[in-house]
Amino acid sequence: MQHAMLWVAFAWTLLSAVAPVDAAPKFDAQRAWSHMETQLSFGSRAPGREGHERCLGWMRATLDSLADRVQVHSFSMEDPYGEGRLELTNLRAVYRPEARTRIALAAHWDTRPFADRDPEHPDRPLPGANDGASGVAVLMELARVFAEHRPPVGVDLLFFDGEDYGREGDPDHYLLGSRRFVQDHPEYRPRALILLDMVGDRDLRIPYERYSATMAPHLARAVFDRARALGLPAFVPVMGAPILDDHMPFLNAGIDALDLIDFDYAPWHTLADDLDACSPQSLEQVGILLVSLVYEGLGY
Ligand SMILES: [Zn+2]
């Protein structure tokens, strides 16, 4: 009798020890949402602002505790619109650095220095809830998932600075961080890069971004097929607009890249780009999709 009970106790211990490891990784939308709130609490994350510095410190400290390795890619350049120099920093959080097959998941972490689409306050910096914080929030929650469930492939979380620095009509001064990252790392050839930008809209609807769908059609199709298989209604496989974004330097370098972006967002580049316009459920759909693509394979 005592023996049997011991055996039951042992089996139970074994089961409870094994169960969390075998459980499918789960993306926690509330944690992702808390990363939105944290970023907005820093204020503007535009280059040169205090919030930029504080957000970088938070990302570094968090990623240092979760990733196998964090690479800091800092550079400076002449400010195209003012005196002095711009100090910019990309981060790369690396999981399984030894793995040759790698998937890159990316977002820009800077916010636009001015709300130039805002009729009332075009010179004030925007909160950047959707345009900035949303992609980073998803990646920061994924950083925890990958720390707790070792991914089957190498994964790099890329956080680009200076995406939204350019003035309208001056396309050369957008994408500052991603351009420089590709230029400085010619040996970096992930199997695919998936970029998240403006993925927090409470009415999330993501069509094919046109450059991605024409230059890397197999990746685009595989990702949208997976979204359909998972029953994620935000992903709508119709052709959308071409959008200049951080995936472009990668596409131009011959790397498969896909921009997941909902550009149909009324508060874009206004002070109304705040938490009210976003929802945790939107972040969750994106998170579930990326978890599936990393753990079950890209499917192409
Ligand atoms: Zn923007």
- Per-residue pLDDT tens listing for the chain (300 residues): 445 544 555 554 445 444 444 467 999 999 999 999 999 999 999 999 999 999 999 999 999 999 999 999 999 999 999 889 999 999 999 999 999 999 999 999 999 999 999 999 999 999 999 999 999 999 999 999 999 999 999 999 999 999 999 999 999 999 999 999 999 999 999 999 999 999 999 999 999 999 999 999 999 999 999 999 999 999 999 999 999 999 999 999 999 999 999 999 999 999 999 999 999 999 999 999 999 999 999 999
* Centroid of ligand 1 to alpha carbon of 13 (angstroms): 51
* Centroid of ligand 1 to alpha carbon of 112 (angstroms): 6
In this structure, is residue 14 part of a structural domain? no
* Centroid of ligand 1 to alpha carbon of 17 (angstroms): 45
* pTM, 2 dp: 0.92
In this structure, is residue 1 part of a structural domain? no
Separation of alpha carbons 12 and 30, rounded Å: 31
Q: Which residues of 264-292 are buried (b: 16+ CB within 10 A; e: fewer)?
A: ebebbbbbbbbbebbbbebbbbbbbbbbb
Which structural domain, as residue segments, surrounds residue 129?
Answer: 26-296
What's the confidence (pLDDT) of residue 11?
A: 52
In this structure, is residue 103 part of a structural domain? yes
Separation of alpha carbons 254 and 250, rounded Å: 6
Surrounding ion ligand 1 within 5 Å at CB are: 131, 164
What's the confidence (pLDDT) of residue 24?
A: 73
Task: Quickly tell me which residue has 């003035």 as its tokens.
Answer: 167
In this structure, is residue 15 part of a structural domain? no
What's the confidence (pLDDT) of residue 22?
A: 45
Residue 192 and residue 260 in contact, taking contact as beta carbons nearer than 8 Å:
no
In this structure, is residue 288 part of a structural domain? yes
* Centroid of ligand 1 to alpha carbon of 59 (angstroms): 20
In this structure, is residue 5 part of a structural domain? no
In this structure, is residue 12 part of a structural domain? no
Q: Which residues of 8-44 are buried (b: 16+ CB within 10 A; e: fewer)?
A: eeeeeeeeeeeeeeeeebebebebbbebbebbbebbb
Query: How many domains is the chain partitioned into structurally?
Result: 1
Burial of residue 111, with CB atoms counted within 10 A of its CB: 0-12 exposed, 13-18 middle, 19 or more buried: buried
* Centroid of ligand 1 to alpha carbon of 232 (angstroms): 25
Domain CATH for 122: 3.40.630.10
In this structure, is residue 2 part of a structural domain? no
